[in-house]
Chains A and B, each alone.
Chain A
Amino acid sequence: MNEKKFKILMTLGVIGLILGSWGMGSRLIFGHASVNYGSYVPWGLWVVFYLFFVGLTAGAFLITIMTYMFRVERLKTVGRLSAFTVLVALVCELIFITLDLGHMERLYRIMISPSFTSLMTWFVIFTNLMLIIYLLESYFLLREDLIAWANDPAKKGRRIYRLLALNQTHYGIRDQNRDKSRVRFLSIISLPAGLLFYGTNGAFFAILQNRPIWNSAMTPLIFITAALLSGGALITALIYAFHEDEELVRPLGQVILYLLVIFTLQEVLQFFVGYQSKITGIVTSLNLIAFGRYWWTFWIIHLLFGTLIPLILLIKSPEQPRAVAWACFLIVITFVAVRFNFLIPDLAIYKLDGLELTFFHPRLRTNYVPSVMEWLVSLWIISFGLIAFLAGSRWLPIHAPAGEGAKKDPATWCNILDSQAVDGQGGTHHA
């Protein structure tokens, strides 16, 4: 990424952080007084963004698995970027969900008195497990360069790199091999942890028998596809923007195209089966998505900008990395609408006839419009994530050293998979 783009994005991030501070202050001082969700729509914008960020981790998760577990050499150039992306997205997701709690100071209770019958407990366990895995994995991936940068007299901020390297000054072949083994081990355990993490996320909603659309075996499957689609699109756009590896963007674009088709098909099936079932709750929820107050988020944002235009770009210009990156970018930013339309309509139906005609209060209504405070808090967290990512990409060695995994064969999936090779045993020694 060039200096100009970096400065623009950083400025946007700082402005977002400043504007969002008002909302964060309000949330931390006055609690949930200024939110617009209530008891009948108990989750709002923050849970939407939480789901959004959960999905964003998936693409990067797959890349790290393929790079370090299955040793797909060609993807190694983006391995560190992927691990760091997972880490930032997980942190953003955790901030969103923590702020959504009525008593966030009691979050520790999930650790000291967990209920293992609750999928929320399992979700917290897997989220923390993923966080720890990716924190360690990122550290072991970066350690060699952190030590090198700390030893480089020409490098600014050497003390910080020394601190991040835990005061280590020497990095030999033994350390390199040990770190490689550690990264591989962490990647191996991240596979089941990640699958359980995304699976639990879908099951979290699917088990609720009183929720007409969620209560389906399709839900976890849709969640996994949605996560792979949005996460894959994010990592593809990031590779184009930050890594300038256009060769890798093309095959990833093909994968995104297939995922987009599968996801759209799943959505069509959900609507078809739902309408054909003629079950009041399901039909009402689907009607809310398609013809309710937020119809435009479904038809215009999701279907037009998030599905149709990316499909055209990916089908018409699969060889143009710029077009592929734009398609992926559109998929990512419009995916908030997908999460919104998954969460809110199913909550926004009265569970009992007549409930809407009794005991009037804004907290006991099903028409939900996010408040300014909710938007500002979201802006703060997203800006924080953006700044963290930009700072990492600029001041941390998250881009692989030149030559690492950089076989410049024409990048197709056949070539990428053929490039699996046992890593070289070369090491560096920094005195």
Chain B
Amino acid sequence: MGQMLPKEDLLVRMQRDLRRANTKDPTKVQWAMVIDLAKCVGCHACTIGCVAENKLPPGVVYRPVLEEEVGTYPNVRRRFLPRPCMHCMNPPCVKVCPVKATYKTVQGVTVVNYKRCIGCRYCLVACPYAARTSDFGEWYTRETPEIPGKIVGRKAAAKGYEDKPAVEYGKTWPDRGHGSPVGNARKCHFCLHRLAIGMLPMCVTTCIGRATFFGDRNDPDAFISEQLASPRSFRLKEELGTQPSVVYLK
């Protein structure tokens, strides 16, 4: 007999869990993510959703999907592993930051203070998951020819979209090319600006296989708590003792 179809979309339940978490004392909330590798089809929708949501420039990525071919022909298969920031509970990146620009919030999210970051990239070197990228000030429109005085050309192409940064961390940042986050370390922040208004992170919403789950791990009724208890769960590079908040299901 086949498995019963769910009565409601998982997103609806996780949305409800999120709203419940937002009504709690913020210090009692601990965000966590679970990624079910058996459900991931390698569509990269989460990567692209994240890039669009955070308006990531070229060379900056918060959540790539790692692809691997395993086995020997004819017994081969492809394996996909979405890799956001692990939001470690013992994060190596926080310890090495010389100016306290990267730190853990009370809700367990590792964040970067763009105005404080000096761009030394020590955190990039220290992260065991390569989950941080540096913004070198690249433009998608860099190769577009400039035609001064006309309404076409590079500046015109960039105007209104590429030169306007996203509201990461719920803050307004200067136009691209005029300071941070150019020159800074950048990373996944669990879409804190979306969480603040009761919306799930973009990668969760865009996952077509419903392979990414998100919620408050301190809420026993939350869907995430059920998934965290799964015997299939494991963490990346657990031997390093970083205690990631992102858990995978085999």
Provide the bound-state CA to CA distance between A115 and B123, in Å: 13
The distance in angstroms between the C-alpha atoms of A288 and B169, with both chains bound, is 39
Q: Which A residues touch B121, using CB under 8 A? A: 42-43, 102
Contact of A32 among B132, B136, B185 (CB under 8 A): B136
**Of listed A35, A103, A350, A352, residue having the most chain B CB within 10 A:** A103
| A370 interfacial by beta-carbon distance below 8 Å | no
Q: Nearest-CB distance from A285 to chain B (Å)?
A: 14
Q: Is A353 an interface residue (CB 8 A)?
A: yes
Query: With a CB–CB cut-off of 8 A, which chain B residues contact A30?
Result: 137
Specify which chain B residues have a CB less than 8 angstroms from the CB of A40 in the assembled complex.
130
Measured in the bound complex, the distance between the Cα atoms of B133 and A419 in whole Å is 57
A121 at the interface (CB under 8 A from B): yes
B residues less than 8 Å from A354 (CB atoms): 66-68, 79, 81
Q: Give the shortest distance, in Å, between B119 (CB) and chain A (any CB).
A: 2
A359 (CB) vs chain B CBs: closest residue: B64
B-chain residues with CB within 8 Å of residue A350 when the two chains form the complex = 130
Q: Knowing A39-B59, A208-B125, A364-B59 touch, does A358 contact B240 (C-beta < 8 A)?
A: no
A209 nearest CB across to chain B (Å):
6
Number of interface residues of A (CB under 8 A): 47
Query: CA A103 – CA B121 in complex, angstroms?
Result: 11
Count of chain B residues with a beta carbon within 8 Å of a chain A beta carbon: 52
Contact assessment for B99 and A209 in the assembled complex, using a CB-CB cutoff below 8 Å: no
* Chain A residue with Cβ nearest B186: A39
Cα distance, A38 to B132, chains bound together (Å): 11
A193 at the B interface (CB under 8 A) = no
**In the complex, are the beta carbons of A102 and B125 less than 8 A apart?**
no
Nearest CB in chain A: distance from B128 CB, A = 4
Q: How far is the CB of A120 from chain B (nearest CB, A)?
A: 4
**B137 to A31, Cβ gap below 8 A?**
yes
**B174 interfacial by beta-carbon distance below 8 Å:** no
* Contact of B41 with A by CB under 8 A: no
Contact for B136 among A207, A208, A352, A363, CB less than 8 A? A363
Q: Are A42 and B125 in contact (CB under 8 A)?
A: yes
Q: Does A113 contact B (CB under 8 A)?
A: yes
User: A207-224 CB contact bits vs B (8 Å, 1 = yes)?
Assistant: 111110000000000000
Question: How far is A357 from B70 in the complex, measured between Cα atoms in Å?
Answer: 13
Residues from chain B with a CB closer than 8 A to the CB of A355 are: 64, 66, 83, 130
* B209 close to chain A: CB less than 8 A: no
A372: interface (CB < 8 Å): no
A-B Cβ contacts below 8 A, count: 155
Q: Mark A404-415, 1 if CB is under 8 A from B, else 0.
A: 000000000000
Least Cβ distance of B64 to chain A in Å? 4
Q: How far is the CB of A203 from chain B (nearest CB, A)?
A: 12
- Taking CB atoms, residues of chain A closer than 8 Å to B44 are 358
CB of B156 closer than 8 Å to a CB of A: no
Please name the residue on chain A nearest to B130 by beta carbon: A351
> Which residues of chain A in 318-376 are interfacial with respect to chain B, using CB atoms and an 8 Å cutoff?
347, 350-355, 357-359, 361-364
| Chain B residues touching A, majority SS | loop
Shortest beta-carbon distance from A25 to chain B in Å: 16
Contacts of B96 in A (CB 8 A): 117-120, 207-208
Question: Which stretch in A65-73, A76-84, A104-112 binds the other chain?
Answer: A104-112
Bitwise, B142-182 to A at CB < 8 A (1) or not (0) is 00000000000000000000000000000000000000101
> CA of A208 to CA of B133 in the docked complex: distance in angstroms?
17
Q: A39-B59, A208-B92, A352-B130 are in contact. Are A357 and B67 (CB under 8 A)?
A: yes
**Residues of A contacting B59 with CB < 8 Å?**
38-39, 361-364
Shortest Cβ gap from A22 to chain B (Å): 19
Q: How distant is the Cα of A316 from the Cα of B161 in the complex, in angstroms?
A: 69
How far apart are the CA atoms of A350 and B107 in the complex, in Å?
30
| Chain B positions within 8 Å of A43 at CB level | 121, 125
Q: Which residues of A contact B79 (CB under 8 A)?
A: 354
Most buried by B among A38, A106, A362: A106
B36-53 to A contact mask, C-beta < 8 Å, 1/0: 000000001001000000
In the complex, what distance in Å separates the CA atom of A101 from the CA atom of B183? 8
Give which listed residue, B98, B116, B129, B136, contacts A351 with CB less than 8 A. Answer: B129
Interface string of B86-106 (1 = CB under 8 A from A): 000000101111111100000
Cβ-defined partner of A39 (8 Å) among B68, B124, B126: B124
Cβ distance A127 to chain B, nearest Cβ, rounded Å: 12
Q: Tell whether A422 is near chain B: CB-to-CB under 8 Å.
A: no
Query: Is B226 close to A, CB under 8 A?
Result: no
Chain A interface residues toward B at CB < 8 A: 30-33, 35, 38-40, 42-43, 100-104, 106-107, 109-110, 113-115, 117-121, 124, 207-211, 347, 350-355, 357-359, 361-364
- In the complex, given contacts A38-B134, A347-B125, A352-B236, what are 13 additional A-B residue pairs having Cβ atoms less than 8 angstroms apart? A38-B59, A103-B180, A103-B184, A106-B118, A117-B94, A118-B97, A120-B98, A208-B126, A209-B240, A352-B66, A354-B66, A354-B67, A359-B61
Q: Which are the 4 A-B pairs with shortest beta-carbon distances?
A: A102-B119, A102-B183, A363-B59, A354-B66
